[in-house]
């Protein structure tokens, strides 16, 4: 299989860090089936709308994105190749850190940031050769360029489950990965991909009580939107 990194138009080590951040966010939002708008990028990265607006203008000038109908942001072929490679290497770095080096699950996202910039296609192949199970990151997101183990259409957010419904936690959206404290809470309570869960009840404020491995765990509405399960 030809990986996206086989024909990179630029050296990722020389890519502007801000451009890298935006390209990854745009790719991931599109991967999640969302229309990529400046407001969504602003929410994802926690940046002011004016800052995002200026960054998008630079990405357009660099030939990495275009805009449709004045609003929706779309990666060009060049931008998509770069973004896909960045995301691929980031997720492979996460697997290396967790599976091979034993880094705690809740720390791997942050620490993978530096590894992805210096990874080569040879290192990509070496990590893939050592992976057990599906080609996903530790948070369940598929590694671009590899077969996806579960179709997005088969998954549903915890927020859409009804009381009594069961499923297997399969994927955490990137919104969750950006928050260290949230990841620590999820790991502490076994809310990680592969865990079977059951929704016990939904409180009036949207808090959901889950049963996981015989224990009850509370989950707020924001997190319930970002944790996706494969229904039983």
Point out the residues of the chain with pLDDT beneath 70: 1-7, 9
CATH of the domain at 23: 1.10.10.10
> Which pLDDT belongs to residue 1?
46
Angle separating helix axes 108-118 and 77-95, nearest 10 degrees: 120
Same domain, 25 and 89: yes
pLDDT given at position 3: 59
Please state the φ and ψ torsions of residue 81, each to the nearest 5 degrees. -60, -45
Claim to verify: residue 55 and residue 163 sit in the same structural domain? no
Domain of 85 in residue numbering reads as: 1-141
Residue 156 to residue 79: CA distance in whole angstroms: 29
Overall pTM surpassing 0.85 (yes/no): yes
Pair 9, 47 in one domain: yes
Per-residue pLDDT of 78-92, as tens digits, reads: 999 999 999 999 999
Element at 18 (helix H, strand E)? helix 17-31
* One domain, residues 57 and 107: yes
Q: How many CB atoms lie within 10 A of CB 6?
A: 12
Q: Is residue 146 part of a domain?
A: no
- Which tens digit of pLDDT belongs to each residue from 17-64? 899 999 999 999 999 888 999 999 999 999 999 999 999 999 999 999
Strands 208-212 and 215-219: antiparallel
pLDDT score recorded for residue 6: 54
What total of structural domains would you count in the chain? 2
Strand partners, 229: 156, 169
**What is the full DSSP assignment across 32-51?**
TT----HHHHHHHHT--HHH
């Amino acid at each position: 299989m030809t990986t996206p990194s086989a024909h990179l138009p630029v050296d990722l080590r020389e890519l502007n860090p801000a451009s890298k951040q935006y390209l990854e966010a745009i790719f991931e939002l599109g991967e999640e089936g969302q229309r990529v708008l400046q407001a969504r990028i602003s929410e994802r990265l926690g940046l002011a709308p004016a800052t995002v607006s200026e960054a998008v203008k630079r990405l357009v000038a660099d030939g990495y994105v275009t805009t449709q109908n004045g609003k929706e942001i779309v990666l060009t072929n060049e931008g998509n190749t770069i973004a896909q490679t960045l995301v691929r290497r980031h997720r492979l770095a996460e697997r290396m850190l967790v599976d091979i080096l034993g880094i705690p699950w809740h720390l791997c996202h942050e620490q993978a940031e530096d590894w992805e910039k210096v990874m080569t296609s040879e290192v990509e192949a070496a990590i893939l050769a050592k992976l057990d199970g599906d080609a996903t990151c530790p948070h369940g997101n598929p590694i671009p360029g590899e077969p996806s183990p579960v179709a997005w259409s088969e998954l549903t957010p915890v927020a859409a489950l009804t009381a009594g419904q069961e499923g297997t936690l399969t994927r955490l959206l990137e919104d969750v990965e950006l928050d260290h404290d949230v990841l620590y809470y999820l790991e502490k309570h076994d809310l990680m991909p592969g865990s079977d869960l059951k929704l016990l009840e939904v409180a009036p404020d949207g808090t959901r009580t889950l049963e996981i491995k015989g224990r009850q765990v509370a989950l707020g509405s924001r997190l319930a939107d970002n944790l996706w399960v494969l229904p039983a």
